[in-house]
Amino acid sequence: MTARDLVSLSPFIVMAAAPVVIMLAIAFYRKYSLAFLLSLTGILIAFTSLLYLPDTPLRISSLVILDDFAIFYIGLILAASFCVTLLSSDYLKGRRGNTEEFHVLLPLAALGASVLVVSCHFASFFLGLEILSVSLYGLVAYTRGDKGIEAGVKYLVLAAASAAFLLFGMALVYAETGTMEFSLVASAMAPAGTDNRFFLGGLAMIFIGIGFKLALAPFHMWTPDVFQGAPAPVTAFIATVSKGSMFALLLRYFAGVDIHSYGSLFAAISFIAIISMFTGNLLALFQENVKRILAYSSIAHLGYLLVAFLASGALRLTAVSFYLVAYFITTIGAFGVVTVLSGKERDADSLCDYRGLFRERPWLALFLTAVFFSLAGIPLTAGFIGKFYVVAAGAGSALWLLVIALVINSVIGLFYYLRIIIVMYEPPNQEKSVPAVPIPLTGSVVLVVLAVLLIWLGVYPAPLIEVIYSMTAGI
């Protein structure tokens, strides 16, 4: 490994060193503000180091590749982690137990997610996945309430199951191709045609393991319980960073594989996309808990993303990447509102907690209205542009069944988003109303920035689209 390689790995070195520094610091001086500042500093330094990386693409051994695609997604992961860290500041203050270790686990989870997006080998893929998963086990159950412990155990069991599928799938692919590098797997299988059962079986098992992590139907059963039981900032992290990094890896893994030439695999992924859309949206209609509504909504949104994933042509990567950026903004915004309204005893996740929000805190109600409009794909929001690109990518590849399913489910999704919006503008309930907690400064800053991005990308998305196109062109 050369000095150039070490400089290229500087974001990962910083993110790996940050948890160690925080752990040593709180061992000598246990104070939450110190852990919080060190965590923010580590993430900020790692993000800044992305600006000084050597010319890409750069392949470091056979395990990782640092190209513009990876830099874009690492930047997105670190930006989201920075927002989640800011939101967690006042959320954790005053809670029972030691809260400092939260900021040991969060940068570690961001490191695992970043390793995923640079992986070009099964070994680095699994290493990044386990770093992310093991960190999330602790984060999900961090507040140690009854629902938190239940959520942590469920996530642990399902993550172990998904790891088993992944490893078995990797073994089948390796047995057939003799390599674990993504590019060599694709090139080794290209001349073999579409009848190789070991390869198709391995790909299917790998996709099942990834489906668990992305919470695609029918592998979604853990999602509502984990989203409800985990602390609100952690839920935001799982819904965005964890799923976004896995989808980025999915794009890289299948970059050299023509899915359309494997009819059974293409049909299976199309079926998963359709049932994910319908399962997420239909089950969300019957929920009374905001976090569970957002959990089922995330299942549907990953189904939308599969429409663009299955498309062909240059628009495919642009559509997926823009949609993920919009999804990150809106999802962190939604869970950010839940976070700033939450008290010390419980999260503000019941629909009753939002009744009369407009009269109590009008700017929060307006922001949450914009977030739900974006998730529904209403014009002048980032979500509308993202959904437009997904539909255009699907239509350009003649995936008409998937596009029709997406349009129908967008209408269904609008119903439960409007349901929450209507509750916010109703008269306050005297028995159950918005928790009387002060809105923290850090949370307010995050929500204001997200609000600006939400509208700006909906009105003037051209700069971001140009950046995405240039940074994903080489994959």
Distance from the Cα of residue 264 to its chain's centroid: 27
Pair 85, 139: CB distance under 8 Å:
no
Mean per-residue pLDDT pooled into runs of 10, the chain (475 residues)? 78 94 92 91 93 78 86 95 92 77 93 93 92 92 80 89 91 88 74 63 87 90 90 93 92 77 83 95 92 94 94 86 95 93 81 87 92 93 94 91 94 93 83 62 91 94 91 75
Alpha helices in 285-397 (DSSP H): 290-310, 315-341, 357-360, 362-376, 382-396
In order of 101, 126, 229, 437, the CA distances from 106 in angstroms are 9, 19, 17, 25
Report the C-alpha gap between 193 and 333 in whole angstroms: 46
Is the full-model pTM beyond 0.75?
yes
Q: Which two tokens stand for residue 393?
A: 């990518």
Structural domain tally of the chain?
1
The predicted pLDDT at position 244 comes to 93
Q: Is residue 302 part of a domain?
A: yes
- Residue 189: the pLDDT is 61
How far is residue 210's CA from residue 220's CA, in Å, rounded to a whole number? 11
Q: Does 434 map to a domain?
A: yes
Supply the pLDDT for residue 434.
47
Q: Are 224 and 293 in contact (CB under 8 A)?
A: no
| DSSP code string of 13-79 | HHHHHHHHHHHHHHHHS--HHHHHHHHHHHHHHHHHHGGGPPSS-EEETTTEEE-HHHHHHHHHHHH
pLDDT at 429: 66
148 within a domain of the structure (yes/no): no
Tokens encoding 451: 């609000």
Q: Is residue 70 part of a domain?
A: no
Q: Report if residue 61 sits inside a domain.
A: no
Is residue 357, in this structure, part of any structural domain at all?
Answer: yes
Considering the domain boundaries, does residue 294 fall inside one? yes
Number of Cα atoms under 13 Å in the Cβ half of residue 108: 21
pLDDT computed for residue 182 by the predictor: 83
Contact between residue 384 and residue 269 where contact means Cβ atoms under 8 Å apart: no
Residue 241 lies in a domain: no
Range of the domain at 418: 263-475
Instruction: Give the up-direction half-sphere exposure of residue 367: CA atoms within 13 A in the CB hemisphere.
Output: 26
